[in-house]
Amino acid sequence: MQAIIFANRSAAELAPLNRQYSAALMPLVNKALIEYTLEDLSCAGITHAKLVVANRASEIEAHIGTGAKWNLTIDYFLSKPEEDVNSVLQRMQLDPQQTQLVVRGDIIRTPCIKRFVDFASKIQHTFVLASMNNQNPGLLMLPAGRSHGASLNWPIAELPQNQQRSINQVLHGKTFHLDSIANFAAATKYIIKHAHDFAIKGRKIDSLETANLYLGQQTQCPSFTDKTVHGSIGENSFVHPLVSCKNLIVIGQNCFIEDSELNDSIIMPNTFVGKNLTVKNQIISQDYIIDITHSTWVKVDDTSLVAACQTGVKQQQKPSLVHRFIGFALLILALPLMLISLLVAKATSPQQPIIRFNASSNQQRTIQLYEIAVNSQILAKLPQLWHVAKGNLLIFGASATLNQQAKYGVFGPVQLLLDKNAPAEEIELVEMEFQQLSQLGYVKRLWQLA
């Protein structure tokens, strides 16, 4: 049996966390949200899955890979953010008689997929309407549920009433749609309380709480044996010995917590928390402080209070000498065109014939790029060939003005074909299509699209 996992939410309901994470990779008790569904599928004996992704698709694929970690073989299928489920299934051209499990992977539910699959498999020609704690758990079995795909659309629908020609299955546990900051916090508490069911990572240690406290590898923290605290602390995090922790505390990986007070709060991965702060019923994610009760947030510019801990960086790209020489040769050949373009720009845009802006090199340094103010994007970007000659950029690659895990280049689909005001989702989809292409592959694909 194949599973079709929908993880194409934009996660706007979880702002500002959606600025830092896709819904699928949203850290939830030190695991990416999608991992809970993948683990559940693996426990159900499912070995093949098709993952429907949209926002930050390349990051999701980099994190999950082929799915071997979960004994799965995963293929990826691009969609628009929150695209209609029936529309996506139709584009997949599935065998109408084949049994398929459709599941939302961007919500959290008590592990239950094996129970659902076992029950639905016994009555293959009858639609099974699953419910969990009177909520829609985002599960659907094909082909019997083919006409009910809309029940998995986002925002996820409430359970239909008086459904004809169906059998109800009540699954024990709880479902969280993560459609608000408060719901995200509630899901965190529930997972910690039922840590065994959700296979929470880390070593269990003792505290005064009857609930569990889990520590990741290479974590430095004070003793909690005399503290009333439960929760999870991720790998490679440092918690100052004088930090006061009370009640539920979840600290992500690669965090650095100075002498402060934490109470019923969540610290997201790669976050620094400074001294003498009182963090109560809040989420801190790098430079954002989020109030759980009121779902309000503020971005903090003072890095002595809260900030991002930069731990992971993009692997450096080292262009060959041949590539740099080709860039230099193209630059020399393009000099007459640049001169003509500059004269045109002087006539049409006398106030600003040359545009200057900052970007990132493939060595993770900030560089300055120049564009000539003409309509042709190819002519406009010819001065940037200088950075190819210097080894900062490739000739063809992703836009160097976007923060992403990709090889940056002067010419690419975003630079040449998309409007500067194109939505982030469209940019993400286009960049993912080109990500694995060679320089020659870029030329061929751009020629096809031009």
Last residue of a domain, one of 254, 278, 308: 308
- 340 and 284 in a common domain: no
Question: Would residue 182 count as lying in a domain?
Answer: no
Question: Would residue 121 count as lying in a domain?
Answer: yes
pLDDT of residue 317: 56
Question: Would residue 316 count as lying in a domain?
Answer: no
- 303 and 251 in a common domain: yes
Cβ 109 vs Cβ 176: under 8 Å: yes
pLDDT of residue 437: 76
Q: Which positions of the chain have pLDDT values less than 70?
A: 161-164, 208-211, 310-318, 364, 403-406, 424-425, 428-429, 432, 435-436
52: helix, strand or coil: strand
Question: Would residue 186 count as lying in a domain?
Answer: no
pLDDT of residue 312: 43
pLDDT of residue 319: 74
Question: Would residue 190 count as lying in a domain?
Answer: no
Write down the mean pLDDT value for the chain: 90
CATH label of the domain that carries residue 270: 2.160.10
- 295 and 265 in a common domain: yes
- 142 and 15 in a common domain: yes
Report residue 3 CA to chain centroid gap. 20
Tokens of 132: 């969990």
State pLDDT tens for residues 130-160. Answer: 999 999 999 999 999 998 999 999 999 887 7
Question: Would residue 193 count as lying in a domain?
Answer: no
Neighbours of 207 (CB within 10 A): 18
pLDDT of residue 222: 86
pLDDT of residue 189: 96
Please choose, from the candidates 322, 331, 394, 330, the residue with its C-alpha nearest in 3D space to the C-alpha of residue 360: 394
In total, how many domains does the chain have?
Answer: 3
State pLDDT tens for residues 371-398. Answer: 999 999 999 999 999 999 999 999 998 8
- 383 and 270 in a common domain: no
Going 93 to 95 to 159 to 187, the CA torsion angle's sign is negative
- 343 and 289 in a common domain: no
Question: Would residue 195 count as lying in a domain?
Answer: no
Question: Would residue 189 count as lying in a domain?
Answer: no
- 269 and 133 in a common domain: no
DSSP letters, 195-236, are: TTTTT--SEEE--SSSS-EEE-TT-B----TTS-EEEEE-TT
Last residue of a domain, one of 262, 283, 308: 308
- 172 and 276 in a common domain: no
- 297 and 365 in a common domain: no
- 327 and 295 in a common domain: no
Fill in the DSSP letter of residue 24: T
**Alpha-helical regions (H) of 108-254:** 113-122, 181-193
pLDDT of residue 307: 93
Please choose, from the candidates 334, 327, 298, the residue with its C-alpha nearest in 3D space to the C-alpha of residue 390: 327
What's the domain range around 363?
A: 321-449
pLDDT of residue 161: 66
- 219 and 114 in a common domain: no
State pLDDT tens for residues 420-430. Answer: 777 766 776 67
Cis peptide before 143 (omega within 30 of 0): yes
Q: CA 206 to CA 294: how far, in whole Å?
A: 32
- 304 and 219 in a common domain: yes
pLDDT of residue 313: 40
pLDDT of residue 211: 62
